[in-house]
Structure 1
Amino acid sequence: TNVADLTPPEVVQRYKALADIERGFRVLKSEIEITPVYHRLPARIRAHALVCFLALIVYRVMGQRLRLANSDLSPERALAELRKIQRHRVRINKAEPISGISTINDSQADVMQALNIRKPTQNTQLSLL
């Protein structure tokens, strides 16, 4: 470090914080698949940074909840399971539309329980937080 007034434990703590930040950027680029977007206006740059930051928070919270539930799933695999759940709405001719939700399988139910998400019903939306 070039900061002369830090104690050795402070240097180690800052180094670990830097490693966490770098890991976060790797997650954004690989697992979350955020690609570079070139903005010109400062407000758009800030908005893009906010979206990236929120995505990383959701990813980290998911990972934390999965670990606390002793699940061996990664956030990516958990999301892949949840993506299979579909809400559909069908209208035949002029009849009233019929709505439905995919049947939740055991694996999806386990993910929902680990993430503390209620199973969707006809009148609810999925929510992670």
Structure 2
Amino acid sequence: NNLWMIEKAFRISKTDLKIRPIYHRLRERIEAHICISFVSYLIFKEFERALKDSNTNISVNQAVKQINKMHEVYFQYSNGNNQRILLKNNSTQELIMEVVNNSF
């Protein structure tokens, strides 16, 4: 059973996270690559858990597709003031934001 979970983790890292082999020579870069890959997987699994716990029928892949369609406009005025405006989300995106806000 543990072997199956490890194989699933590798499959997620290759497909959903699009992590590819990077050939590093320096130890620090190898460790950094492994760390980034692990943290990416951890965030993916925590997001998956949060969606499941919220009893939504949204998969993590569907959620990521919806998140990629969300946009924010950032204005920087000449007087030094800044303004951020989140463009209107659809109902699925609002539900995803609610899950994220309640879980993290």
**Normalization by structure 1: what TM-score?**
0.69
Runs of 4+, deviation exceeding 3 Å: 94-99
Q: 1:60 aligns with which of 25, 28, 45?
A: 45
Q: 1:41 aligns with which of 15, 26, 32?
A: 26
- More displaced stretch, 104-113 vs 43-52: 104-113
SS state of the match for residue 40, structure 1? coil
Answer yes or no: is 1:100 the counterpart of 2:50.
no
- Structure with max Cα Rg: 1
> AA paired with 1:105?
N
Tell me which protein shows more helix as a share of its residues. 2
The size of the alignment, in residue pairs, is: 103
Matched residue, 1:31: 16
Displacement after TM superposition at 1:91 (Å)? 5.7
Q: Any stretches of 5+ residues in structure 1 without a counterpart?
A: 1-15, 119-127
Q: Any stretches of 5+ residues in structure 2 without a counterpart?
A: none
Matches within 5 A, 1:70-89: 70-89=55-74
Q: RCO (CA 8 Å, sep 6+): is it higher in 1 or 2? A: 2
The two structures, once aligned, show a CA RMSD in angstroms of 2.1
Displacement after TM superposition at 1:76 (Å)? 1.7
Displacement after TM superposition at 1:98 (Å)? 4.9
Percent of aligned pairs with the same amino acid:
24
**Normalization by structure 2: what TM-score?**
0.83
**Alpha-carbon distance between aligned partners in 2 of 1:38 and 1:82, rounded to the nearest angstrom:** 30
SS state of the match for residue 74, structure 2? strand
> AA paired with 2:93?
Q
